[in-house]
Copies of this chain bind each other. A is one copy, B any other.
Amino acid sequence: MLTPSDKALVPFVSVDHMMKLIHHIGLEDMLGGLAAYIEADFKRWESFDKTPRVASHSDKGVIELMPTSDGADYGFKYVNGHPSNTKDGLQTVTAFGLLADVASGYPVLLTEMTLLTALRTAATSALVARLLAPKGAHVMAMIGNGAQSEFQSLAMKAIAGVDEVRLYDIDPAATAKCARNLAGSGLKVVPCDSAEEAMLGAQIITTCTADKQYATILTDNMVGSGVHINAIGGDCPGKTELAPAILHRAGIFVEFPEQTRIEGEIQQLDPHHPVTEIWQVLTGQAQGRSDDRQITLFDSVGFAIEDFSALRFVRDRIEGTDFYLPLDLLADPDDPRDLFGMLQRARG
């Protein structure tokens, strides 16, 4: 085998490496670190090249590419969403991502992003909840206890001051799994028999369910004043979780309006319905929560810049560790114009 030069080798973080990296840093510290990177990138929002994700839809699901660049680094994520995968023993969502150097176009990191996406989504949710939830919020209702639920709960603990999570899922086995996983985390965990019960005393309500349909996980009369809703599951055309009446009562906060109007809860509203961009609240250009009684809604769909922040974080943290493998991904002939000569010499 030929030994490729350094330029040909792209650091690759496998699922196994990512799990080791998370445990090495500590899950809550990593969630906090990701939130700090995401906050820093949201605060320089205008320096990014932004484009709605490029989606390929089929009757089974969607495959998306989410690219962005800040002029120095370029990142993209490949992610699928296939609700019916679960019945075949597969993940609904899997992902991987890549970071590249804009000046040369050469990739500098390839990494699994199924785990990393769960972490960056939770970190974003908690960053926004810290910004928008009513003062003193410390109880979260977690409606939908699937693959995201523990990450959401722990990020809210690490970043947004939550000390109690109240769990509900239409499948009690999912709730039991989530409660079991969160045992010993320091959170008070309360399994509930209904969404209404889960919402008792909660100042933060997170919805994260998987069915692809216009569902009504929350109806209007279930939601009182003075709460923050973190709506994760309504994230593609035809998939929403909230009754439109809730949207009309809420102050609505979004990542990137052009994308959220297509994919988020607000696909149910008039395309000119007012929304506030999170980055503008973070930079002080727009108001966050107006008063203690307001319902704030983070209509989260996941944006490419969050993945970019996560890729930057991983690149910075694997340096000097063993949590990656150098991958022979790029052809690197001694003379760049002599690709053919490299191939010929490989015949030996």
Contacts and interface: CB of A to CB of B under 8 A. Distances in A.
A328 B112 CA distance: 8
Interface in A107-121: 107, 112, 114-115, 118
Interface residues of A, number: 83
Contact of A147 (B60, B106, B115, B340): B340
Nearest to A149: B340
A337 interface: yes
A174 interface: yes
A8 interface: yes
Contact of A115 (B1, B22, B343): B343
The secondary-structure label for the interface of chain A is mixed
A82 B118 CA distance: 34
Interface in A171-186: 174, 177, 181
B60 A336 contact: no
A346 B105 contact: no
A313 interface: no
A245 interface: no
A188 interface: no
B54 A51 contact: yes
Interface stretch (A66-74, A159-167, A226-234, A267-275): A66-74
A338 B147 contact: yes
Interface in A87-134: 88-92, 94, 96, 98, 100, 102-107, 112, 114-115, 118
Question: 10 closest Cβ contacts across the A-B interface?
Answer: A80-B105, A114-B331, A150-B340, A14-B328, A19-B346, A147-B339, A146-B337, A82-B105, A94-B330, A86-B336
28 contacts: A12-B327, A15-B329, A22-B343, A23-B343, A23-B346, A58-B69, A61-B104, A62-B105, A63-B69, A76-B78, A78-B107, A80-B105, A80-B106, A82-B104, A85-B104, A86-B336, A90-B104, A90-B336, A91-B333, A94-B105, A96-B107, A96-B330, A118-B339, A118-B340, A147-B336, A148-B339, A177-B335, A181-B340
